[in-house]
Amino acid sequence: MKEPFEKLLSGKTFQILSDLVYQHSRIRLGSDKQSLMANRLRKRLSILNLESYEDYCCVLHSPHGSDEVEEMVDLISTNHTRFYREPEHFSFLTQQALPALVQPLRAACTPLRLWSAAASSGEEPYTMAIAVADFLRSHPGLEWEIVATDISRRMLTVAREGIYSMDSVKSVPLEHLKCYFKKGIGVRTGVCRVKPELRKHLRFERVNLFQPHLPVPANQHVIFCRNVMIYFDLPSRALAVQRLAQLLAPGGYLMVGHSESLMGINHGLHPVQQGVFQKT
Ligand SMILES: C[S@@+](CC[C@H](N)C(=O)[O-])C[C@H]1O[C@@H](n2cnc3c(N)ncnc32)[C@H](O)[C@@H]1O
């Protein structure tokens, strides 16, 4: 249905809005994203009872504008994800990273720490959790925790709940589905929830990778930061990778998306295989 008035996003206003998005999140929106931005913000304008994108700019620049900038970034960011996305990383985790990490950690009575740094709606950190829990069934006696962070509060709310449609868990192997998810019944038919025994190992927190201090414990053994750096320019990618590398324990691993290149970035990590880097 057509709205009572057509809200038009001019090129100039798009530039102002996309600069604000960049300053807040380093997400770079090219001019080809003008209609995407207009579409994603239109509903927000209606909620705020605003007549134009120019009025929205005034709100963003007002004294309480920073909360609204956060809201705008949340609406603009692309949150697409799925269970077992880029499955080679999870095979690497169970077949190479965990076998190498677990014995020395157990000997030193140190917990295993993993971080999903762009966790979106939770599919990635829960897949990591399944891999770790499954591995530790045959190597018990190690404490472990996954910190799952994202800039989007909206996505973190979904992630914390851990409720997914049966369709979205199609890629989860059946034995893991049975072991780590509870199928909904009655009014909850068609969805399933990650079991509390697994959820208790995850901590969800809103973190912008560029905020002044990253509130994530140092000495992470595995960091997944996948399919977010494609939205950053090279200097921002470099900064993000350097910050992540600093928080890695020696011998720890950084996983990036298959289409994300760390070429031209001075990160000091050793490439292990596609999208996997190790701190030596
Ligand atoms: C496409 S999803 C990737 C999800 C998951 N890592 C995967 O590979 O399936 C990208 C996520 O990055 C988040 N994001 C974008 N900019 C960010 C920033 N500056 N700091 C933290 N998270 C950010 C978005 O909110 C979004 O949920």
Mean pLDDT of all residues in 169-198? 96
The reported pLDDT for the residue numbered 64 is 87
pLDDT at 118 over 70: yes
Answer yes or no: 40 catalytic.
yes
* CATH number of residue 117's parent domain: 3.40.50.150
Could you tell me if the CB of 151 is within 6 A of ligand 1? yes
Tokens matching residue 47: 């909620």
Atom nearest to 116 CA in ligand 1: 6
pLDDT at 71 over 80: yes
* CATH number of residue 57's parent domain: 1.10.155.10
DSSP labels for 141-177? ---EEEEEEES-HHHHHHHHHTEEETTTTTTS-HHHH
Within-domain flag for 1: no
pLDDT at 16 over 80: yes
pLDDT by residue (tens digit) across 32-51? 999 999 999 999 999 999 99
Out of 54, 76, 98, a domain closes at 76
Residues 33 and 99 in one domain: no
Question: 26-34 long-range contacts, Cβ below 8 Å, gap at least 24?
Answer: 26/209, 26/210, 26/231, 26/232, 26/233, 26/236, 26/239, 26/240, 27/73, 27/76, 27/77, 27/231, 27/232, 28/231, 28/232, 28/233, 28/236, 29/76, 34/9
Please tell me the distance from the alpha carbon of residue 166 to that of residue 33, in angstroms, as a whole number.
32
Q: What percent of the chain has pLDDT over 70?
A: 98
Could you tell me if the CB of 79 is within 6 A of ligand 1? yes
Within-domain flag for 2: no
C-alpha torsion angle, residues 241, 246, 252, 254 (rounded to 10): -10
Residues 128 and 175 in one domain: yes
Could you tell me if the CB of 227 is within 6 A of ligand 1? yes
Distance 120 CA to ligand 1 centre (A): 6
pLDDT band at 6; cut points 50, 70, 90: low
Residues 253 and 145 in one domain: yes
Sequence-distant (6+) residues with CB within 8 A of 52 are 7, 8, 45
Residues 98 and 226 in one domain: yes
Out of 76, 97, 120, a domain closes at 76
Please tell me the distance from the alpha carbon of residue 80 to that of residue 85, in angstroms, as a whole number.
10
Out of 52, 76, 100, a domain closes at 76
pLDDT at 1 over 50: no
pLDDT at 76 over 60: yes
Distance 150 CA to ligand 1 centre (A): 6
Within-domain flag for 209: yes
Distance 109 CA to ligand 1 centre (A): 32
Domain count, the chain: 2
Our mutation pick for probing the ligand 1 site, out of 88, 151, 243, counting the most ligand atoms within 8 A of Cβ, is 151
Q: What is the pTM of this model?
A: 0.95
Within-domain flag for 43: yes
Residues 16 and 147 in one domain: no
Residues 45 and 168 in one domain: no
Residues 36 and 125 in one domain: no
Within-domain flag for 162: yes
Within-domain flag for 265: yes
Distances, alpha carbon 55 to alpha carbons 58, 64, 110, 132, in Å: 5, 14, 53, 49
Least confident of 3-17, 39-53, 169-183, 195-209: 3-17
Residues 132 and 231 in one domain: yes
Catalytic choice (113, 150, 226, 237):
150
Residues 17 and 139 in one domain: no
Residues 144 and 70 in one domain: no
Q: Whose CA is nearest to atom 9 of ligand 1?
A: 81
Least confident of 83-87, 209-213, 242-246, 260-264: 260-264
Please tell me the distance from the alpha carbon of residue 249 to that of residue 279, in angstroms, as a whole number.
7
Residue 248 is part of which domain span?
88-278
Residues 98 and 54 in one domain: no
Could you tell me if the CB of 176 is within 6 A of ligand 1? no
Within-domain flag for 268: yes
Residues 148 and 48 in one domain: no
Distance 20 CA to ligand 1 centre (A): 17
Look at the chain and count its residues: 280
Within-domain flag for 55: yes
* Phi-psi category of residue 84: left, alpha or beta, with phi > 0 → left and psi -120 to 50 → alpha: left
